[in-house]
Amino acid sequence: MSLLAGQTSLAQTAWTMASPSIVITFLAVSVGMPVFLVGALVSVRQLASSLTDIFLFERIAKVKNRKLALSLCDMILALCFGATIVSVLFGTQTQTSIVFVVCIFTMGVADEFQHLLMTDFLADNLQSKSRLLLQYTQMAIGGGFGVALAWIAHELTLELPPLSRHSIVVTIGIACFALSALAILAVEDSAPTNAARPSATRSPLRLVRNYYLNVLAMMKQSWFRQYVVITTVFSAVILAVPFFALIAAETHHTTSKGLTAMVTSYALGYIVAGPLWGTLNNVSHRLVMITCSLLVGFCGSILATLHMLNLQHDLRIHAIAIFVVTVAVRGIIAVLQVYFMEIAPKGQRVKGIAVARSFGRLTMICLSALLAAVAHLQETVWAIFFIAFVSFATATISYFFARKFEK
């Protein structure tokens, strides 16, 4: 348990220091990428994750050496982030844009592959209470490491230009991904690595057909239909972090403290989210869902209003907004993941989470593309207003539809 907690904390630190939602957004805006493309990177990542849910879920369920597969995913993520840094420092704007799209797509595949496999891995190796403890412990520890590393990077790079400082932050995340890849190899897997498992289907057409049949089979089960409803309605709320980061990057990407402040706020959000939602989840899943939705709604409304009144120039305003939505979004993601591991039968874990997440991903692809277009053609503030409005609606929906989620 302790070794697994250390590994997941390293991975969490890596995602904090090299977050696509925060850091990559700042890098993209800093090199002058169009706002539509920056916002559309969210759609690219969600599309990659959806394709993974459809075409790779059978292969994931039949992986023999899960530790090696999880380690390779971390290494792929490290290489992708490394490629983005190289393109930012040495490439033209066109080259950088192409590299960003390709790397974000690859990150989406690797991250989703790892998430689905880790769900099965944790369910096999930890009991329910241990899974809940690990889920929130790694948030707090990873966030703490993130704050410390962001502060150290800030102090050591005061004389460097903003773009170089941004790149160093990502480089620290790359190092954490590499350490996480090594740490997972030392974790004990209770399932035999040489267990006899049938070979995965290779035909794309058969995979699509199997996915369609899996959707039909899973939707016949009432517990799964309820889970899909909840997952889908939270799609717009989860988009709060990348679009809050986009509006912050547009305002502060040229300042020396801009990215450091956002990364620190992002990491602090993880620290607070761990114990806060860990405690409230023991009371009620529905309480967590409603509270998280309201936090995003109120924060988005205030931030958008300040932008409309041209009072948004203080860096602390965006730092606080990133902190609040990070706390809220992490609460949503965690409660959905923990609940699923508790209710899903062993033979349906990977298949079920893949189908459920594909519904949510499809919604997020459409919404993120729409919001990116609005941000490009009008102003990003209107995307924030939309997310705030949907968040209030989601709180209401959760009150009525999440009753079956009560413990």
pLDDT digits (tens, 9 = 90+) for 221-247: 877 887 888 788 888 888 888 889 888
Cα–chain-centroid distance for residue 407? 25
| Packed helices 240-252 and 258-281: angle between N→C axes, nearest 10 degrees | 160
Residue 297 has pLDDT above 90, yes or no: yes
For residues 290 and 395, the answer to whether their CB atoms sit within 8 Å is yes
Show Cβ contacts of residue 54 under 8 Å, excluding neighbours closer than 6 positions: 207, 208, 211, 354, 358
C-alpha span between 287 and 291 (Å, rounded):
6
Helix (H, G, I), strand (E, B) or coil at 348: helix
For residues 318 and 252, the answer to whether their CB atoms sit within 8 Å is yes
Return the DSSP state at 21: I
Phi, psi (5° rounding) for residue 187? -80, 140
* Predicted local confidence at residue 98, as pLDDT: 92
Read off the tokens for 299: 């924060």
CA dihedral (183, 187, 191, 195) positive or negative:
positive
C-alpha span between 216 and 75 (Å, rounded):
35
Span 308-360, pLDDT tens digits:
888 777 888 899 999 999 999 988 888 887 777 777 777 777 677 778 877 77
Q: Can you tell me the mean pLDDT for 8-17?
A: 87
Domain extent listing, the chain: 2-189+208-405
The CA–CA distances, whole Å, from 228 to 49, 294, 348, 391 equal 16, 21, 14, 17
Residue 174 has pLDDT above 70, yes or no: yes
* Predicted local confidence at residue 64, as pLDDT: 81
User: At the fourth CATH level, which superfamily is domain 2-189+208-405?
Assistant: MFS general substrate transporter like domains (1.20.1250.20)
